[in-house]
Amino acid sequence: MSKIKLPSTLEGKTILVAGAAGFVPGHLCEFYLGLGAKIIGLDNFITGSRSTVELLSKNKNFEFHECNIFERLPDFSKNKIDFIFSLASPASPIDFDQIPVEIMRVNSEGTLKLLEVARAKGARFLEASTSEVYGDPEIHPQVETYQGNVNPIGPRSCYDESKRFAEAMTMSFHRHYKVDTRIVRIFNTYGPRMRPNDGRVIPNFITQALKNQDITVYGDGQQTRSFCYVSDLVQAIHNVMFCDDPTPFNVGNPDEYTVKQAAETIIKYLGAKSKIAYRPIMQDDPRKRRPDLTKLQKISDYRPKVTFEEGIKRTAEHFKGLK
């Protein structure tokens, strides 16, 4: 299989990014602004940051619209749109508890509206799905052909099942309307501009370590995760957008850590006095999580570049600077 050829510039191209005020989408917008593209960002700030939009708005090629994409999109009748990134969904366990209906709506009604824009504009569409579609996996590492082990009525189902629906909707538009679509399944990602109270492993651990508080680990800490620094993730997504395969791709970092190892590494690297405090494990918490990247690496030269230690350092520096 031949390797993809990535564009050196995207000047003259317009990219619509849903969720532009969020953590990963904000970094994605920066990346494409750096390639000369015009970005139209959408967000309702339910979890996104206004400071991210302020940062992006310093670039003359960034345009922003505040909206709920599952209710109504701006009028794009006069816009040329070449690429659409569907990245609007909240993705944290605290969000699953607090805004489950909004998560389900953005991944169903919101995805439908974005796909309709892609169909009308002849734009290439990328659905940012998640490793959560695999649920608590029965095979390890996870390959794209694995169909998952998901609890359809559990506390994580608002996210797991709505992302599975979003993938199905994307493939339906591809098959039925011939829309040019892509799908990525994002594994654990971290980096600067995450919410300190995000509820996910890395921001929780760093925030606690910086305050020398106990590090909260759920269960025995032997469940595993694979942590990808955000710049590496953006590069992986970029590779998939410019390939020719509409079926899902895992994107992330294959390096695997137990949650306990991650906590110990962060304590050591930040010189914290924290100790590990164990709490009862949450329902449906996956025991294993590591992407098989064989499919992505067959079509691209993708290799994660940022080590876990370097990524933690950069992320901690960001958190230190927050008021």
Which residue, 199, 250, 256, 196, is CA-closest to 226? 256
> Could you tell me the two tokens for 323?
């008021």
Which residue, 56, 123, 58, 44, is CA-closest to 85? 123
Does the residue 223 lie in any domain? no
Confidence class for position 2, pLDDT limits 50, 70, 90: low
Q: Which domain holds residue 172?
A: 14-188+229-253+286-304
Specify the pLDDT at position 282: 85
Q: Across the chain, what does the average pLDDT equal?
A: 96
DSSP classification of residue 4? P
- pLDDT > 90: percent of the chain: 93
Pairing of strands 62-66, 83-86: unpaired
Does the residue 182 lie in any domain? yes
Does the residue 54 lie in any domain? yes
H or E segment to which residue 52 belongs: helix 50-56
Specify the pLDDT at position 285: 87
pLDDT tens-place string over residues 111-152: 999 999 999 999 999 999 999 999 999 999 999 999 999 999
Does the residue 97 lie in any domain? yes
| Cβ neighbours of residue 61 closer than 8 Å, sequence gap 6 or more | 33, 36, 37, 38, 39
Does the residue 219 lie in any domain? no
Q: Can you tell me which residue has the tokens 């927050």? A: 322
For the chain, the domain total comes to: 1
> Could you tell me the two tokens for 317?
């520096």
Phi, psi for residue 264 in degrees, rounded to 5: -65, -40
Kindly report the CATH number assigned to the domain that includes residue 151: 3.40.50.720
- Full-model pTM: 0.96
User: Residue 323: is its pLDDT beyond 60?
Assistant: no
pLDDT tens-place string over residues 28-56: 999 999 999 999 999 999 999 999 999 99
- Of 32, 134, 159, 229, the active-site residue reads 159
Measured distance between the N- and C-terminal CA atoms of the chain, rounded to whole angstroms: 49
User: In angstroms, rounded to a whole number, what is the distance separating the alpha carbons of residues 291 and 294?
Assistant: 9
Specify the pLDDT at position 308: 95
pLDDT tens-place string over residues 181-206: 999 999 999 999 998 878 889 999 99
Specify the pLDDT at position 1: 57
Does the residue 213 lie in any domain? no
- pLDDT > 70: percent of the chain: 99
Q: Give the 3-state secondary structure of residue 199.
A: coil
Q: Can you tell me which residue has the tokens 């009308």? A: 120
> Is the separation of the CB atoms in 120 and 95 below 8 Å?
no
> Could you tell me the two tokens for 168?
């199905």
| Cβ neighbours of residue 157 closer than 8 Å, sequence gap 6 or more | 150, 151
Lowest mean per-residue pLDDT among 19-23, 167-171, 280-284: 280-284
Catalytic, 134? Answer: no
Q: Where are the alpha helices (DSSP H) in 99-257?
A: 100-105, 111-121, 157-177, 201-210, 230-241
Does the residue 134 lie in any domain? yes
